[in-house]
Amino acid sequence: MTSIQSVYIHIPFCQQICHYCDFTKFFYNEQLANDYIEALKQEISTYVQEEQMNVRTIFIGGGTPTALTVQQLETVLSHIAQKFNLDACEEFTIEANPGDFSKEKVELLRAYGVNRVSLGVQVFDNEMLKTLGRIHTVKDVYNTVSLLQNYGIRNISTDLIYALPNQTVAHFQDSLAKAMDLNLPHLSTYALQIEPKTVFYQRYKKGQLPRPPQEDEVKMYDILKATAEENGLHQYEISNFAKRGFESKHNLTYWNNDFYYGFGAGAYGYLPGKRYGNIRPLPAYIKQAKKNGKPVLHVDVIGKKEQIEEEMFLGLRRMAGVSKHQFADKFGLSMDQLYRSSIKELMDRGWLMEEEDKVALTEEGKILANEVFERFLLEDTVIH
């Protein structure tokens, strides 16, 4: 059987809905959260029928997992410990908002082997945090980092967003400098995307969301790369930077196109031959999960053509690029056989570079990554 590398578990509850977020999320309600946790346990147990299954990474995301009470969080962690071998798990991450942690919650996480925390900082500016719909303050960031480190959790990642409404290059530079001053081992940084069904989308449609010009967004990205490098964080993926040895093993599962379970409302999983997406609305998810343990909304069949395309899309997000010999070993076809003309065109444009055994994005290619990825779509008749 093909091994499952990783597990993603979605906790969709938030104390506040951020203005830019389009993930599956709902305002926290204690009874609803209790019902959801029971449904989640049923789903996990349906897929993982043995005890103490070995996986490399576990990631509890959201929403805001730390919006749960200590008791609810313990119920989730206890079930995870029952179904997965935590002693063999190399990286166990939980997402959190600054200010959400109590000593009891941190002690609980430590007791169950959580060894990495991803903090949704977003920006080091209290007024801009309010604009984003965040409820934490900059002071909460410092207090949370200190609390986690005092309990021995030092593998902490911060999330930043740039190209925010009314944000200048100098403002981003200042926010980034404050993130660097924390001297944490990992940084994830994303340009703001205006997603449908968000507060920001409604404002954008009305012309009420002033965005920085595109050239400023490019400058911010250039500053980000240079500043991270100066502070010992190497870029290992388009949006991610880390000290050596602190790259996110869980996210590398996605970019390496390996298999993983996705549990919870709106979660996605990737199993041999298929990707599946779960039901998003909570009542429907809970009802279906309790009924048969498989609250799946849709399944996409992943044939060889789709696997090859995803290998290129996902692999090119990594700075290491895509290995030609690993590609050939995996698919029984050479990369040149399928993509020689696309690779040559992208190299001529300065978006792709080729070394003996790999292709990878150039600096300009990182900025125009989506255009690069389009060149690796295959005709239906190419793969039989």
**Mean per-residue pLDDT for 118-130?**
92
- Kindly state the percentage of the chain with pLDDT values over 70: 91
pLDDT at residue 203 is higher than 80:
no
Provide the pLDDT for residue 291. Answer: 97
Q: Mean pLDDT of all residues in the chain?
A: 91
Task: Encode pLDDT of 231-266 as tens digits.
Answer: 999 999 999 999 999 999 999 999 999 999 999 999
**Mean per-residue pLDDT for 26-48?**
94
Q: pLDDT class for 209, splitting at 50, 70, 90?
A: low
Q: From 284, 253, 170, select the one nearest 216 (Cα to Cα).
A: 170
Task: Encode pLDDT of 269-326 as tens digits.
Answer: 999 999 999 999 999 999 999 999 999 999 999 999 999 999 999 999 999 999 999 9
Q: pLDDT class for 1, splitting at 50, 70, 90?
A: very low
Q: pLDDT class for 181, splitting at 50, 70, 90?
A: very high
Q: Do 70 and 21 contact (CB within 8 A), yes or no?
A: no
Q: Do 185 and 155 contact (CB within 8 A), yes or no?
A: yes
Provide the pLDDT for residue 18. Answer: 57
* Structure tokens belonging to residue 149: 């480190």
User: 59-63, 164-168, 205-209: which range is least confident on average?
Assistant: 205-209
pLDDT at residue 173 is higher than 70:
yes
pLDDT at residue 20 is higher than 50:
no
- Kindly state the percentage of the chain with pLDDT values over 90: 80
Choose between 64 and 16: higher pLDDT.
64
Q: pLDDT class for 384, splitting at 50, 70, 90?
A: low
**Mean per-residue pLDDT for 124-139?**
89
**Mean per-residue pLDDT for 354-365?**
94
Provide the pLDDT for residue 26. Answer: 74
**Mean per-residue pLDDT for 144-154?**
97
Provide the pLDDT for residue 172. Answer: 95
- CATH numbers and ranges of domains, the chain: 6-255 (3.80.30.20), 322-374 (no CATH)
Provide the pLDDT for residue 164. Answer: 85
CA 132 to chain centre: 19
Provide the pLDDT for residue 133. Answer: 82
Task: Encode pLDDT of 67-81 as tens digits.
Answer: 999 999 999 999 999
CA dihedral for 67, 71, 72, 78, sign (positive or negative): positive
Choose between 45 and 135: higher pLDDT.
45
Provide the pLDDT for residue 16. Answer: 66
Task: Encode pLDDT of 321-356 as tens digits.
Answer: 999 999 999 999 999 999 999 999 999 999 999 998
Global pTM?
Answer: 0.93
